[in-house]
Amino acid sequence: MKDQHLVTLNVNGSEHELVLESRRTLADTLRQDLGLTGTHLGCEHGICGACTVLLDGEPVRACLVFGVQADGHEVRTVEGLARGDELNDLQQAFSRHHGLQCGFCTPGFLMLAEAYLSTGPEADPDEVREVVSANLCRCTGYQGIVEAVTEVAAERRGEAKTAHD
């Protein structure tokens, strides 16, 4: 007998009710049950980070969390970043800085960076490198990714400051 559960997931602001086999990973749940194929799988053992999503705002490897565990929680994926047709500032910065080539790793890096940026970091170059080193990219050599994240951190800090003034 399959061990199945009825779960409610809030993904990018929409509620979904699903019947999930307990062993189904959150990554497969998003990709196969919800058709959100932006979350990719590159290793399924926690190293590459292509599957990184936000679970209640924290970055997690979606290959190491089961779909049932997200029951009642909020999940954010790459599909939830853009506002309609407009790419968000981070996505635009990736494009400007050539932070992607084949694009396979990109969703994971975007979500990793989104999580990091949400902590309002000082984002000195060493720290950004360290954060970015959570995920693997085989195409770019990381330079564009590091630049994009650093730039957006500065921009968002600037904005936050203006908002406070």
Partner 1 sequence: MKPAPFEYHRAYTPQEVVELLRELGEDAKILAGGQSLVPMMNFRLAHPAALIDINPVSGLDYIRREGDELRVGALTRHRSVEISRGAEVRDGFAVLPRAARWIGHYPIRSRGTVGGSIAHSDPTAEWCLLARLHDAEIVVLGEHGTRTVPSEEWFTGFLTTAALPGEMVIETRFRRPRRCAALLEYARRRGDFAIAAAGVAFDVVDDRCQDVTIVLGGVAGRPLRVPEAEAHVQGAEPAESTWAEAARIAAASVEPGAEADGDHDYRRHLVGTLTRRAFREAYETGTDAGPVRGVA
Partner 2 sequence: MLRGAARFVDDVPHPHACHVAFVRSPVAAGRITEIGTADARSVPGVLAVITSEDLGHPALTAVLERAEFVPTAMPLLAHDRVRYVGEPIVAVVAETRYIAEDAAEHVWCEIAETDPVLSLADLAGAATSVHAEAPDGVLVDLQMFTDELLGDALAGAPLVLEETFRSGRVAAAPIEARGCLAEWQARDEQLVLQVSTQVPHQVRTGVASALGIAERQVRVIAPDVGGGFGLKCVVGREEVVAAAIAAMLRVPVRWSEDRQENLTAAFHGHEQEYRIRAGFDSDGRFVGVDADIVCNIGAYSAYPFSCGVEPLMAATELPGVYKVGRYAARARGFATNKPPTAPYRGVSRPQVVLVMERLLDKAARRLGIGRVEIRRRNTIGRHEFPYTGPNGITYELGSYVEALDRCAAEVRHAGWWERRDAGDGPLRGIGIVNFSERTAYGTATMGLRRMQMTPGFDVSHVRMDPSGDVVVTSGTCGHGQGHETTFAQIVADRLGVHPERVKLRQGDTDLTSFGWGTWGSRSLVIGGGSAAVASRRLADQLKVVAAELLEAGPGDIELADGHARVRGVRDAGLPIDEIAATVHFRSHTLTQHEDRLLEARGVTDPPGMFSNATHAALVEVDRGTGGTRVLDYLVVEDCGVVVNPTVVDGQVRGGVAQGIAAALYEELIYSPEGQPLAGTFMDYLVPTASEIPPVTVHHIETPCDLTETGAKGMGEGGTIGAPAAVLAAVNDALREYDAEIDHIPVRPADVVRALRRGDAADAVRQEETA
Ligand X SMILES: Cc1cc2nc3c(=O)[nH]c(=O)nc-3n(C[C@H](O)[C@H](O)[C@H](O)COP(=O)(O)OP(=O)(O)OC[C@H]3O[C@@H](n4cnc5c(N)ncnc54)[C@H](O)[C@@H]3O)c2cc1C
Neighbours of 5 (CB within 10 A): 14
- Of 82 and 160, CB closest to partner 2: 82
59 binds, among ligand FES, ligand X, partner 1, none (CB under 5 to 8 A by kind): partner 1
Instruction: Round to whole Å and give the CA distance between 15 and 120.
Output: 28
Interface with ligand FES, residue 146, by CB under 6 A: no
Question: In terms of Cα–Cα distance, which of 66, 84, 62 is closest to 18?
Answer: 66
Residue of 9, 110, 112, 152 interacting with partner 1 (CB under 8 A): 112
Question: In terms of Cα–Cα distance, which of 59, 143, 62, 131 is closest to 100?
Answer: 143
- Of 48 and 113, CB closest to ligand FES: 48
Least Å distance, CB 162 to partner 2, is 26
CB burial of residue 104 (10 Å; 0-12, 13-18, 19+): middle
115 binds, among partner 1, ligand FES, partner 2, none (CB under 5 to 8 A by kind): partner 1
Interface with partner 1, residue 77, by CB under 8 A: no
Interface with ligand X, residue 120, by CB under 6 A: no
Record the tokens describing residue 2, joined without a space.
């399959």
Residue nearest to ligand X (CB): 46
Residues lying near partner 2 in the complex (CB under 8 A) are found at: 21, 23-24, 31, 35-45, 47-48, 50, 77-79, 81-82, 87, 91, 94-95, 98, 100-107, 110, 129-130, 132-146
Neighbours of 95 (CB within 10 A): 14
Interface with ligand X, residue 160, by CB under 6 A: no
**Number of DSSP helices (H) and strands (E) in the chain, helices first:** 5, 5
